[in-house]
Chain A
């Protein structure tokens, strides 16, 4: 029993860690989140660059890791500068906070999600400002004239909704209150009358709303933003691959804890059972028999009696056991009786 438990436990530990380790290796590299440069003069020195490159305002930075080394928090970031240029660099927490104006342009957990690219037309007169961050507190980075076509990629939800755009060489945020989304359906052939078109509109469990809202996003996503379950929150925060790894690790930890607890309970209960058996002389369990008791007694007369009993009476037959009916207790040399059966 012990061997089986040990082997099982060892197998669980080895397999679980091996599984997750291999899962790690095969997992795609997914950024934890994205931030955007909001301060002029922010430069990075990538591992493949010999000089600093100054990043433009609004430049997207992919954050892959945050860690602490000798008391300083570092960010492991990647910068895509167009084409194949990709800079990996590390910045201290202080540098990053100076750069991204935390609290204003820190579109991490609370609002931004990656999405498909959305095409829209500017409807606000006389046009629309591009700002360095998703708020009117940020400076104006550029201007998009009325009726211009824009494509935005990310959204940020605060008091109103903002989209991340690139227009005329400027990148930044625009208010989505002043754009009109070009529905994808307009580009396709109109569906035949009476046919069902999935993804355009329809009933969704828990509510009746269109799949695609005014800004081109699935209502389901918006809904899940508000009422995310823990799984969605973790995967939403870390990206699907890292989120799943974290969840798997959590599940493994719980399984290990439960398994170890069960093994401890089993061992303790077996030990208790044996102790009880020893106390009550259960012949099915190896324990102190009356014969052992008599043989181990300090009284030589009792020892002799024990030897004779051992030879004369099979222990497992109560009929032949002189200690079952209590007849011999008085001849026990004044010693206490062996454990009751």
Chain B
């Protein structure tokens, strides 16, 4: 797994960006600039989250992996919500928007992983 970690990071980031930009587009974010922010916040949070959870899984085992995943996902939702607050004008609360986008990418990612692997 570690040998392919960079590819895993790229795969996770691509999937997340495609899903979140798609959901954001459907939810009414149509401006290219706003979609650029969706891309940027994912570049900001996703690779870090992937690497940190892999490290936790390696060093501390499965239980701590799930705990760290939950904590880091909440952190990512908060960070992305904060960015959306200052960048994107949307009818939804920015943190709710962030929660929806992240939940969608998380669960769709699980389904894709199940199908692909």
Contact = CB atoms under 8 A, between A and B. Distances in A.
A135 to B, nearest CB: 22
B50 to A, nearest CB: 7
Interface of A: 9, 13, 17, 20-21, 23-24, 27, 29, 65-67, 69, 109, 234, 237-238, 242, 245-246, 248-250, 252-254, 256-257, 259-261, 263-264, 267-268
Contacts of B43: 9, 13, 256-257, 259-260
A260 B40 CA distance: 5
Nearest to A6: B36
A253 B50 contact: yes
A245 B3 contact: yes
Contact of A249 (B41, B51, B87, B117): B51
A17 B58 contact: no
B1 A65 contact: yes
B109 interface: no
Interface of B: 1-7, 9-10, 33, 36-37, 40-41, 43-45, 47-48, 50-52, 54-55, 58-59, 83, 86-87, 117
Contacts, number: 87
Contact of A24 (B6, B40, B87): B6
A302 B9 CA distance: 59
A250 B10 contact: no
A21 B1 contact: no
A89 B56 CA distance: 26
B25 to A, nearest CB: 19
A67 B5 contact: no
Given A20-B5, A245-B6, A252-B9, 18 more contacts: A17-B7, A21-B7, A24-B7, A29-B3, A242-B3, A245-B2, A245-B3, A249-B9, A252-B47, A253-B51, A254-B48, A257-B45, A257-B48, A260-B44, A261-B44, A264-B40, A264-B44, A268-B86
